[in-house]
Structure 1
Amino acid sequence: MPLEDRGIWYFCKMSNTFITIARYQYSSEAQIIKGRLEADGLEVFIADNYTIDTDPLVSNAIGGVKLKVRIEDEVKAKEILNSIEEYSQNDEGTPMICPNCQSTKIHYMTNVTDLKSLMSFLVSILAGVLPLYTKYNHRCENCKHKF
């Protein structure tokens, strides 16, 4: 049966073949992880990467770049993702430790909490450029403590 004759049946079958295992703000992050998963023999598909590459400001609105694998490979793909998950490290290269719960699952993230960073964010959005000033914090994935 030619592809164009498959119609809605083909679309429904294909939409049930892949499952989203991760979402990324930018397509470059997804491409790196895609390469790692493909190196382990998994079939990987990336969705919404062209939309976000065209206009990065819509990334949060559409849920980011979606990394998809075959349903039967979901467990293996998540194991690989967990093994390569990067958490923040200090200057000596050792994992950072949360002062609240002692976890090492710390992420480096932007934070807009003061007037200067808020004004910079607003001006950047209006000008259509990346933020000129951004304040960064660390956040623990276990207790959500920011420091």
Structure 2
Amino acid sequence: MKENLVKIATYQFSTEAQIFKGRLEAEEIQVYMADQYTIDTDPLVSNAIGGVKLFVAAKDEARAKAVLEELSEYSLDDQGHHIHCPNCESTKIDYFTNVNDVKSFLAFVFNFLLFGLYPIYTKYEYRCEDCKTKFKLE
């Protein structure tokens, strides 16, 4: 019997996806991951290919989404409160790494290509899922 799969979540890194996959499997929900090895091989392509994707059977979709909603999907500050977008006040805020300036790129080239290490200097930013505003916390 062919089982229809539904994408329920995407994550920038496979480590994040593994944590949520484990939580779903603890609830006896079968989970499938896509693009995990591609992103583990080259983490910088994560945004380009849409991140690591989690899939579940269509019959388990509602239950899987309920389990994921119990966990805080969006970014929290150091006190555990939701971070608000400075533009629209939404709490649907994600945390991203990027390599979009010369300093980040040179750090990547130097560390990764010469030493085989993941870049030490990486820029981080928050992005609102509703209005797509990018910002940093003060």
Q: Considering the TM-score relative to the shorter chain, is it more than 0.5?
A: yes
The CA deviation string for residues 19-70 of structure 1, in whole angstroms up to 9 with x for no partner, is 33223343332221122112223222334545554x2448636654332211
Higher radius of gyration, 1 or 2 = 1
Equivalent position to 2:77, from 90, 96, 101:
90
Residues in 2 aligned to 1:133 and 1:58: alpha-carbon distance in whole angstroms: 13
**CA distance 1:22–1:59, change in 2 (3 Å):** farther
Unaligned runs of 5+ in 2: none
Equivalent position to 1:65, from 22, 43, 52:
52
1:142 matched to which residue of 2?
130
Equivalent position to 1:111, from 78, 98, 103:
98
**CA RMSD in angstroms, aligned pairs only:** 2.7
Aligned residues with identical type, % of pairs: 53
2:87 matched to which residue of 1?
100
The CA deviation string for residues 103-131 of structure 1, in whole angstroms up to 9 with x for no partner, is 11222222334321222123344333211
**CA distance 1:113–1:123, change in 2 (3 Å):** same
1:77 matched to which residue of 2?
64
Q: Secondary structure at the match of 1:20?
A: strand
Residues in 2 aligned to 1:63 and 1:103: alpha-carbon distance in whole angstroms: 22
Residues in 2 aligned to 1:138 and 1:25: alpha-carbon distance in whole angstroms: 13
Unaligned runs of 5+ in 1: 1-12
**More helix, by proportion:** 1
| 1:4-19 equivalences in 2 (<5 Å) | 13-14=1-2, 16-19=3-6
1:31 partnered with 2:5: no
